[in-house]
Amino acid sequence: MNTLHVALGDRTYPIIIGSNASHAAEPLQKAIIGKTVLIVTNTIVGPLYAEQLAKTIRGLGKTVHIHTLPTGEEYKNLETLNTIFDTLLANQCDRKTTLIALGGGVVGDMTGFAAASYMRGVPFIQVPTTLLSQVDSSVGGKTGINHPMGKNMIGAFYQPQLVLADLSTLNTLPGNELSAGMAEVIKHGAIYDAAFFSWLEDNMPKLMAKDEAALTHAIVRSCEIKSEVVAQDEKEGGIRAILNFGHTFGHAIEAGMGYGAWLHGEAVGVGMILAADLSHRLGQLSATDVTRIQNLVKAAGLPTEPPKLGIDKMIELMKLDKKSDAGQIKFVLLEGIGKYKIQTAPKIILRETLRVCEVI
Amino acid sequence: MNTLHVALGDRTYPIIIGSNASHAAEPLQKAIIGKTVLIVTNTIVGPLYAEQLAKTIRGLGKTVHIHTLPTGEEYKNLETLNTIFDTLLANQCDRKTTLIALGGGVVGDMTGFAAASYMRGVPFIQVPTTLLSQVDSSVGGKTGINHPMGKNMIGAFYQPQLVLADLSTLNTLPGNELSAGMAEVIKHGAIYDAAFFSWLEDNMPKLMAKDEAALTHAIVRSCEIKSEVVAQDEKEGGIRAILNFGHTFGHAIEAGMGYGAWLHGEAVGVGMILAADLSHRLGQLSATDVTRIQNLVKAAGLPTEPPKLGIDKMIELMKLDKKSDAGQIKFVLLEGIGKYKIQTAPKIILRETLRVCEVI
């Protein structure tokens, strides 16, 4: 088992990474302060892992309830969130009740926001079961839900007490979900660590074959990078924005296609290619590096072409991004692999990059 | 104008109290960082004060939108909250947009929670227009909405940038709302300041006649007391709970009658009488002091008898209170005027106190 700490003062918490990490009773015992636990999961993950987790926690003398959400990003909304509150209140759960998110990013985001909001905040543990949630949403405390007009528009910064990233849950993960998670792993290399990016180029076949040692390294290094960034800027005033590399384009694709049509990681994969292209057109990234990013995204089994949403539609959707400032789109771009730059872009050059989105 | 500061480290904020405080451009200019402001108000307060406030802020070169909520506690729910997000997104409001709550406690609670949650947190200003919101909800950062199964069950601790308590808005306040606010003023004296309680006994007729000097003193002293308590315990781990004197009973009355049937302050007024009665039955408060509390509640024009909800129903509702701990009801009681004690109570004695709630 590998243990990292996300350093956030009195909100510092451990991430435990390894096979069967979710069976580890000791960290759970330390993290659960009250007598009652609500495991929130979904219809796919719940049947596979909820009972085992509940059994481990019942073994600690706790009362465990299980709440199962419908599966999919399209349910990450206010109505579904409210069903968690219904269950909490129906079971008379008090302020010391711990919420455990067992599932991927959608379950984690919704459970985290439910924990942040229920009685103005109850304790919260994450057991991420997808690569994406293990390397991304389990670090950093971002929680939230979607609004029909924008992704993650409603939420809170709220830190968990503990994250258990159980590698063995990846065995049941579909291939396209593994790819989607890999998009964020690639992102961490691209913006922050050229050596890690090279390592990913060499090891992508192993990673896609779910080689345990390779996956462990990729997850640990990703969590380290994200932790380092988040520890410097918990509430996204500055450097944390670099984690949005590929996301300005990606969010527009997700919103434009309707939530659930593209996986988040798929949209981010294409978004990184577009961001690399824009960086190149601005004269700050070599054609070779653009190709390296394209190739690595492709090697991870991700799409490399954006949907034909139209240039104007893409720009309109990007203006709604949370990082926009009075209608100005702020991009996270590259000045070489491993080196980010936050900047705006002239509209005429942006439109060049977006030409691949043109409706045919 | 009187200015107080709620001392919360880097979240410290000023409360400005006085006639026409909401016309003061300087503090607004200091507090509004972005270019866009959304004033959230309701159908009663909006027509009276929204345009004047919007004009003042437009004079600072800001774009101002106004969102009008339906009036009443029964709309303090997830659906109404979502209409604020709709307006924010329809106007492409970004992370620097300031939300201003113009209205009473319901508007303040909902706007505050919307500000806490929109894009995971945007700046927020309160312009409370009722006595209740001036002395209570504008200090302390509690925001939230109701759930059919419990009041304020969903929310956040979120501090405003500024509070403008404009005394002139009290001129249009209905008498029963003035009384409701007075319940919290009485509470502050009862739990924390015996001299202030005596002053209230002497000055209640003046206060009910909206004498400006008397009201100013009552509001300033109330805000001081609440600020002092909150500064010691922002997130209600300890002493802050004393502000719930009368509220455990009061919340049960509100929930039991259906939100909106009783004003919050009316329920708290009766709740304080029940809490005083329970304190007396536990041998820690004299019969004279119970009578003083009853008389002061009555002098404020508040009801002094609880509705006949039934003893069991009241106990069941109280167990749902956020301060309950594993089904144990924690009461804030008195050991004399101005001296609180947090404690549980034997069921048999509690039932004696609740006998006045018995269904006839």
> Read out DSSP for B324-344?
-BTTBPPEEEESSTT-EEEE-
Average model confidence (pLDDT) for chain B?
A: 94
Contact A119 B322 (CB under 8 A): yes
Active site residue A316: no
Locate B136 and state its tokens: 């209570």
Q: What is the mean pLDDT of residues B188-208?
A: 97
Query: Min CA distance, B89 vs chain A (Å)?
Result: 7
CB A179 within 8 A of CB A265: yes
Look at residue A114 and tell me whether its pLDDT is greater than 70: yes
**Average pLDDT of A102-106?**
94
For chain B, count helices (H), then strands (E).
13, 11
Which band of pLDDT confidence, cut at 50, 70 and 90, is reported for residue B324? low
Composition of chain A by helix, strand, coil, percent to 5? 55, 20, 30
What value does the mean pLDDT take over residues B72-87?
94
* Amino acid of residue A255: A
Cβ contacts of A35 within 8 Å, gap of 6 or more: A61, A62, A63, A96, B326
pLDDT (tens digit, 9 = 90+) per residue, A199-229?
999 999 999 999 999 999 999 999 999 999 9
Of the candidates A95, A147, A319, the beta carbon closest to that of B85 is on: A147
Q: CA of B234: which chain A residue's CA is closest?
A: A120
Reply yes or no on whether the pLDDT at A247 is more than 70: yes
Q: Across the A/B interface, how many CB contacts are shorter than 8 Å?
A: 109
Q: How is residue B58 written in tokens? A: 């437009």
DSSP 3-state assignment of A104? Answer: coil
Sorting pLDDT into bands at 50, 70 and 90, what band is A10? confident
A151 in a known ligand binding site: yes
Which residue of A86, A156, A324 is in closest CB contact with B94?
A324
C-alpha separations of A306 from A132, A278, B278, B350 in Å: 20, 14, 68, 66
Q: Which residues of B touch A324 (CB under 8 A)?
A: 92, 94
- Measured CA to CA, the distance from residue A85 to residue A38 in angstroms comes to 11
Identify the CA nearest to A219 among candidates A333, A325, A139: A139
Q: Which of residues 196-255 of B touch A (CB under 8 A)?
A: 235-236
* Closest CA relative to residue A117, chosen from A152, A64, A157: A157
Q: Is A169 labelled as part of a ligand binding site?
A: yes
CB of A95 less than 8 A from some CB of B: yes
State the amino acid at position B54 in one-letter form: A
pLDDT tens readout for residues B118-176: 999 999 999 999 999 999 888 889 999 999 888 889 999 999 999 999 999 999 999 99
Q: Which two tokens stand for residue B160?
A: 């405003």
Q: What is the DSSP string of B33-59?
A: -SSEEEEEEETTHHHHHHHHHHHHHHT
User: Could you tell me whether strands B142-147 and B150-157 are parallel, antiparallel, or unpaired per DSSP bridges?
Assistant: antiparallel
A35: annotated active-site residue: no
Residue A323 is predicted with a pLDDT of 66
Cα B48 to chain centroid distance, Å, stands at 21
B35 to chain A: which residues are within 8 Å by CB? 326
Instruction: Report the share of chain B in percent with pLDDT over 90.
Output: 82
A109, A154, A157, A234: best mutation site toward chain B, by most B Cβ within 10 Å? A154
Q: Is A348 on the interface with B (CB under 8 A)?
A: no
- Min distance B198 CA to chain A CA atoms (Å): 35
Chain centroid, CA B34 distance in Å: 28
Separation between Cα atoms, residue A108 and residue A129, nearest integer Å: 10
Considering only CB atoms, B120 lies closest to which of A90, A144, A150, namely A144
Name the pLDDT band for A326 (thresholds 50, 70, 90): low
- Domains, in order of start, for chain B: 2-172 (3.40.50.1970), 176-203+234-357 (1.20.1090.10)
CA distance B311 to B305: 14
> Chain B neighbours among A 284-303 (CB < 8 Å)?
none
Burial B323-342 (b: 16+ CB within 10 A, else e): bbeeeebbbbbbeebbebbe
Query: And the tokens for B237?
Result: 């781990």
* Closest chain B residue by Cα to residue A80: B78
Mean pLDDT of A185-201: 98
SS3 call for A39: strand
pLDDT at B326: 63
What residue has token string 């508040």? Answer: B302
Q: Mean of the per-residue pLDDT values for chain A?
A: 94
A155-181 residue pLDDT tens: 999 999 999 999 999 999 999 999 999
Nearest CA in chain B to A79: B78
The structure tokens 């009075």 sit at A326
What would the two tokens of residue B358 be? 């018995």
* Helix, strand, coil % in chain B, rounded to nearest 5: 55, 20, 30
Residue B241 identity (one-letter amino acid): A
Distance CA B113, CA A75 (A): 22
B97 DSSP assignment: P
CB contact under 8 A, B117 and A327: no
Which residues on chain B are in Cβ contact (under 8 Å) with A156?
A: 116-117, 120-121, 156
Query: Is the separation of the CB atoms in B330 and B291 below 8 Å?
Result: no
Are the beta carbons of B165 and B138 closer than 8 angstroms?
A: yes
Contact B89 A157 (CB under 8 A): no
Looking at the partner chain, which of A34, A147, A322 has a beta carbon nearest the beta carbon of B95?
Answer: A322
The listed range with the strongest mean pLDDT (B7-21, B90-104, B247-261) is B90-104
Tens-digit pLDDT profile for residues B225-282: 999 998 888 776 688 889 999 999 999 999 899 877 899 899 999 999 999 999 999 9
Are B293 and B272 in contact by the 8 Å Cβ rule? The answer is: yes
Q: Catalytic residue numbers of B? A: 120, 142, 184, 226, 236, 240, 244, 247, 251, 264
Residue A258 exposed, middle or buried by CB count within 10 Å (0-12, 13-18, 19+): exposed
What ipTM does this complex have?
Answer: 0.86
For residues A134-152, give the mean pLDDT: 90
pLDDT at B58: 97
The answer to whether A219 and A302 are in contact (CB under 8 A) is: no
CA-CA-CA-CA torsion sign (B67, B72, B75, B76): positive
Question: Nearest residue on chain A to B121, judged by CA atoms?
Answer: A156
Alpha-carbon torsion angle A90, A95, A96, A102, nearest 10: 60
Q: In what order do the strands lie in the sheet with A98-103?
A: A2-6, A13-18, A162-166, A124-128, A98-103, A36-42, A63-69
Provide the pLDDT confidence category of residue A231 given band limits of 50, 70 and 90: confident
Chain B residues whose CB is inside 8 A of the A159 CB are none
Percent of chain A with pLDDT over 70: 98
Contacts of B359 (CB under 8 A, 6+ apart): B308, B309, B310
Among the listed ranges A252-256, B222-226, B260-264, which one has the minimum average pLDDT value?
B260-264
Closest approach of A95 to chain B, Cα-based (Å):
7
Decide if A188 is catalytic.
no
Answer whether residue B360 shows pLDDT above 80: no
pLDDT for residue A324:
67
Model confidence over B269-320: pLDDT tens digits?
A: 999 999 999 999 999 999 999 999 999 999 999 999 999 999 999 999 998 7
The interaxial angle of helices A194-208 and A287-299, nearest 10 deg, is 30
Lowest mean pLDDT among B20-24, B54-58, B224-228, B327-331: B327-331
Q: How many CA atoms lie within 13 A of B335 on its CB side?
A: 6
The answer to whether the CB atoms of B325 and A85 lie below 8 A apart is no
- The answer to whether B157 contacts chain A (CB < 8 Å) is yes
pLDDT computed for residue B143 by the predictor: 96
Confidence at residue A225, expressed as pLDDT on a 0 to 100 scale: 95
In the prediction, which pLDDT does B325 show? Answer: 67
- The dihedral over CA atoms of B224, B169, B208, B301, expressed in degrees to the nearest 10, equals -90
